Structure 1
Amino acid sequence: MAYTVSRILATGIYFIRDWVFCSESIAILVAALFFLNILRLLRSLLVTFCQWKYKNTEVPRLGSPDSTVYKDILFGRRDSRDNDGKGIIRTYCHEARTYDMAAFSIQGRRKTMEDRFNSITHDYEHNLSVYAVFDGHGGEFAAEYIEDQLFRSLRKEFTQGNFYTDPDMVQQVLTSVIRTVDAQLVCLSRDRLDLSGSTSIIVFQLENVLTVANIGDSRAVMCTVEGKMVPLSTDHKPSDPKEQQRIVEAGGFVTFNGVWRVAGVLATSRAFGDYPLKQRKFVTVEPEFSIYDLREFKPHFVILATDGLWDVFSNEEAVQFISERLDEPHFGAKSLALQAYYRGSLDNITVMVINFKKKRALQKKYNRQKANGASQKLTDNKNS
């Protein structure tokens, strides 16, 4: 028996030596890596070409006759298997709009749509609102789950009134909710053997304080009333020295494979999900917070977007673009996403624009009406 086992082991060793580590196998591996890098180079050249070709192209304003060119991007072909003959139009975009926010999300050149967004409509009674954009990777499950569960948890916190009584609790509650939802996602992903994950950028306004929670490489930028661009978040990339140090101290490594990646896999160092990397603590869900006093910065608008936009737009270009189109039905969000597609973005693209100028005007109107109502009620009580 021992002789048979030793013979099997010896045969296996000889096979590995003669076939796996032979010069021919190594040559095939090198050729495959070379071919992969050629494909990455061609992708970069395509993006560069599209940026050059469409950089100065004037995008038709939505609603104009020329804007019908968007039709082919937004809709798929009709499904010929439909029995009633009408066909099914498969949409590849999502959009939403309120009185102070507009969002537009397009699948673009990806095979699947992994971006999500959500918001909690501005509460004028407490001067509070929440906006968020999620950029999934490795599948749709993580972004879909986080978008739903995170906002369920936040609404539950609102009903308990934690934010209203103690504004300093915002960071603590947000961190607690993010950790809890991520832990639930990791457990579900492990059971499902789902490797997906998602970055997130969350903007939380409470009275005159704007709290930005960033997890990953989605981004938020502000345009002040003076027209100044203010970056509200910093991308979490494996190439960042602080992020790289954290990864190495956890026993991981960062390699360059077209872009810098955690363990040669993930191009962002913080994310929801990604349970194999999360278990080894190579990737973390800890949010990075930035706090802004709205009385000091006085924002005109804020842009939240996934990296599908920032791959082809700089912060300054995006702010300038929206500044010229804030009067559009979607506050320019739709036009900006489509322009990013024309410039050659190869990722899903989601853009959300928060119109703070309109929000401030509506908040002042609400406060005046509330004050007038209180005064009228006081007068009625005195007369009675």
Structure 2
Amino acid sequence: MSDSNSATSGTGAPEEQVPLVGAISLIGRRSSMEDEISVWPNLCSPYINKHRPIDFFAVYDGHGGPHVAGLCRNRMYLILLEELMMTRTIISGSTSNNDNISRQSRKQLEWERVKEVWKRVLRSCFQRINEMAFVTCYECGIGVPCGCPPHNYGLGGSTAVLAILTEKTIIVANCGDSRAVLCRGGRAMPLSIDHKPDRPEERARIEACGGHVDFDDCARVLGILATSRAIGDKYLKKYIISEPEFTFTKREAEDECLILASDGLWNVISNEEACQVARECLQKEKPSGRGDIFSSPSRAAAALLTRLAMGRGSEDNISVIVVDLKIDYIEV
């Protein structure tokens, strides 16, 4: 469980204002905990964002053991930092000096280049963490060599939904069936689409590779896994890919909160219900100053959503992050 309304740099110096965040991860009715969450306000101020700070949030829902989700929690943000440090792409191109291209067109071209760079960075992050998962031991959760039998490596997997916030944009990268939802003016806007095996394009891809989707309690790849994309899952990798899908959403003054959660929440609560609960919590009086950050409205929203999921009969681990977007919104 965590809540944050301030951050410090690696040297201990105060960083710029960050959003209020409530984050809770519960074992629920499962016998073991396989979910992980990652909350890094003011992660860094990369070149790609013109040296302005970014916030990083992620939910990882493991399967076949907790090790891959734990690996993602411990390493994904570090890999992202490395990739961003190596990214020094010149965003503006030669067309910027062409008098025949309008200022609006130049800004659009620049934005398209920025999006492509972000996609390249995040694809590399997912690829690198996926390769690490292949050599993570199912028994002890560490990489080669650990003395365990070779068949222990690469058995587990994890979903990953990542959100990167800049002062202008919400960037979401998703692989699996965890989900990101934006509450804007009281409306629920999904920022990711679940990778379920019965999603038409996912099923077509799986069958084109020689696989099949079975239907019992739910749609499962080869009758085994209920998500069609994931990090890890070495022995299903022909069918279970780790390629993320992306959304880029311009922030607006009506944006109220961002919800990231594992399917332990979404299996029993709709996008609209989650947004309604969260916005009602966030409309309560905001805490002043540093105060008790554990009683913030965003923390209350995350707690209420997990309790509601339990009350609705969720049988999975439940992880929820609620980001209050009103706190650090800057109109530009």
**Which among 233, 239, 244 is matched to residue 287 of structure 1?**
244
**Which among 226, 250, 254 is matched to residue 209 of structure 2?**
250
Report the Cα distance in structure 1 between the residues aligned to 2:248 and 2:300, rounded to whole angstroms: 25
Partner of 1:147: 73
Q: Does 1:173 align with 2:116?
A: no
Report the Cα distance in structure 1 between the residues aligned to 2:128 and 2:208, rounded to whole angstroms: 24
- Maintained 8 Å contact 1:117/1:147: yes
CA radius of gyration, larger in: 1
Shift of 1:265: 0.1
- Maintained 8 Å contact 1:337/1:351: yes
Q: Does 1:300 align with 2:292?
A: no
Shift of 1:298: 4.1
Shift of 1:206: 3.0
Question: RMSD between aligned alpha carbons?
Answer: 2.2
1:1-384 paired onto structure 2 within 5 Å: 95-99=1-5, 100=19, 101-122=21-42, 126-160=52-86, 162=88, 167-168=114-115, 169-189=117-137, 192-224=152-184, 226-278=185-237, 281-295=238-252, 298-326=254-282, 327=284, 329=296, 330-360=299-329
- Highest RCO, 1 vs 2 (Cα 8 Å, sep ≥ 6): 2
Shift of 1:211: 1.3
Shift of 1:158: 3.9
Report the Cα distance in structure 2 between the residues aligned to 1:229 and 1:341, rounded to whole angstroms: 21
Work out the number of aligned pairs and report it: 265
Report the Cα distance in structure 2 between the residues aligned to 1:246 and 1:234, rounded to whole angstroms: 16
- Maintained 8 Å contact 2:83/2:125: no
Name stretches of at least 5 consecutive residues in structure 2 with no aligned partner: 6-18, 46-50, 92-112, 138-149, 285-294
TM-score, structure 2 as length reference: 0.75
Give the secondary structure class of the aligned counterpart of 1:325: helix
User: Which segments of structure 1 move beyond 6 Å, counting only runs of 4 or more?
Assistant: 163-166
Q: Give % identity.
A: 37
Q: How has the CA–CA distance of structure 1 residues 359 and 290 changed in structure 2, closer, same or farther, with 3 Å as cutoff?
A: same
- Maintained 8 Å contact 2:133/2:154: no
- Maintained 8 Å contact 1:146/1:181: yes
Shift of 1:307: 0.3
Query: Greater CA deviation, 177-186 or 118-127?
Result: 118-127
Shift of 1:359: 1.6
Q: In the TM superposition, what whole-angstrom CA distance separates every residue of 1:355-381 from its partner, at most 9, and x where no partner exists?
A: 110122xx58xx9xxxxxxxxxxxxxx
Report the Cα distance in structure 1 between the residues aligned to 2:307 and 2:208, rounded to whole angstroms: 41
- Maintained 8 Å contact 1:126/1:164: no
2:161 maps to amino acid = I
1:319 maps to amino acid = C
Report the Cα distance in structure 1 between the residues aligned to 2:37 and 2:259, rounded to whole angstroms: 13
Name stretches of at least 5 consecutive residues in structure 1 with no aligned partner: 1-94, 368-384
Partner of 1:57: none
Between Structure 1 and Structure 2, the one with more helix by share is 1
Report the Cα distance in structure 2 between the residues aligned to 1:163 and 1:103, rounded to whole angstroms: 34
TM-score, structure 1 as length reference: 0.65
Shift of 1:339: 1.6
Shift of 1:216: 0.6
Give the secondary structure class of the aligned counterpart of 2:136: helix
Q: How has the CA–CA distance of structure 1 residues 167 and 308 changed in structure 2, closer, same or farther, with 3 Å as cutoff?
A: same
Q: How has the CA–CA distance of structure 1 residues 161 and 276 changed in structure 2, closer, same or farther, with 3 Å as cutoff?
A: closer
